[in-house]
Structure 1
């Protein structure tokens, strides 16, 4: 991690650059470092803000999307954020959708990449298996088209997390909550400009999921990246950033008076 992680109250976050806010939301096994490419590309003219979602800190009985949405809303209020562009990957996209549906007046644009909310093949079809490093290595590699993107540091981080029984219980609880929170019937309510960036080889939220989001969110814009799986911003950061930049320029934010 090459960026400073700030701690204020109950929140931990990266806060780089100045200007209009890009609020970035990581996935279930994600980390703040997943967005390094966005920070490098955009922090010279945007404020890039990445909260660490308390996925592993939630008590197992509370582990679910409602608690994560409450946390995000509290963070936005705590940082006094308005006029945001919300970007979410995987579970982070799902949380971003829930936030936007509830607080649409506070969101200028929405960017989803490999988002859950309609269908997801969690961990490649199974939940975390404690104690098996090889299993975790395979599951992390499954997230990427090029298995080499799954570095040893990333695998070690996930392995350490899934070696904890309480953390495993939280992961399973959140994954099941995500599967229950299907948003198909609500997506028509989203009126903000929406960008969908999908890996053409995504095995967790396959391409048909991107097409379905595109169909259900009126006026949304869908792009695919070839030889790319579930985390385009990590596998092809340059291509991802070009698509995002064009979208931001196309839908210029209007400051709130």
Structure 2
């Protein structure tokens, strides 16, 4: 996208990539999901930056951000995001988290609620145990190692599983993600992160308990967005999140999979614009 250039900043010794657009005092931080990168927000940044400063961040281990050293704990990822905000001198922010990015955003909002003006959770992980069998198998020894070998056809197949609107997955996005998959540490990083949170039975119990025990700390406005046909993080997770977060609003996109921001970008961008506008006035 025109005007979006790779920027880099050092966070705790890790070279970290981000995109920035807009110059408003109101700041939106976009956190992608597992195995994705800032490119997942290409259909959203321009529109959102008309009224906000928008920052999309490559999370630790993904895209062009350095790969983590050693074994990571779940808390390391929200702490990484918090350090990024401090380094950028950002004191207040709206956070939009997709999938794994939603889990990270939720945990960060629990750990540092004073920083978060509002929270948007998009097909977010962390609220229920049940996930597709292929993710469970991916966590197994030896089998996981075979699955993470770079495979362009397999990558495209995985991306299509993420969506109901298949045309949302462009060759440009697939080529970029395949390019990232060629990094020698990408496969081991995916396995380390998966096995931290997932086993053959689904999301590990401590992940769910960790989110639920502090969910009462969320007092900021929360918007939950889900694709009705999400085959990665099932729709029933959305109802759990909506029930646990008392001040949340749930919006379900019909005929939509795990990537509403790509499958219905105009609807998604409008919904976020309205939500942030109401948040600003309240």
TM-score, normalization by structure 2:
0.82
Report the CA distance shift for 1:38/1:131 in structure 2 as closer, same or farther (over 3 A).
closer
Match of 2:268 among 240, 245, 257: 240
User: For 1:75, what is the secondary structure of its paired residue?
Assistant: helix
Aligned match of 2:18: 13
CA distance in 1, matches of 2:281, 2:189: 37
Match of 2:57 among 51, 57, 61: 51
Does the 8 A contact of 2:67 with 2:185 survive in 1? no
The answer for unaligned runs of 5 or more in structure 1 is: none
Contact 1:60 1:173 in 2 (8 A): no
- In 2: Cα distance, 1:190 partner to 1:198 partner: 19
Structure 1 residues 5 and 165, CA gap change in structure 2 (3 angstroms)? closer
The 1:184/1:176 distance shift into structure 2, 3 A limit, reads farther
Q: Describe the shift of the 1:251–1:148 C-alpha distance in structure 2 as closer, same or farther (beyond 3 A).
A: same
1:138 maps to 2:157: yes
Q: Residue 36 of structure 1 corresponds to which residue in structure 2?
A: 42
In 2, Cα distance between the equivalents of 1:59 and 1:4?
A: 23
Unmatched segments (≥5 aa) in structure 2: 139-143, 198-202
> Is the contact between residue 60 and residue 166 of structure 1 (CA under 8 Å) also seen in structure 2?
no
Matched with 2:200 is none
Aligned-residue offset at 1:94? 0.9
Q: Give the TM-score taking structure 1 as reference length.
A: 0.89
Indicate if the aligned counterparts of 2:132 and 2:231 stay in contact, CA closer than 8 A. no
Alpha carbons 2:21, 2:46 under 8 Å: kept: no
Describe how 1:1-257 pairs up with structure 2 within 5 A: 1-2=1-2, 3-9=4-10, 10-19=15-24, 20-56=26-62, 57-59=66-68, 61-119=70-128, 121=131, 124-125=134-135, 126-127=137-138, 129=147, 130-164=149-183, 166-178=185-197, 179-180=203-204, 181-182=207-208, 183-252=211-280
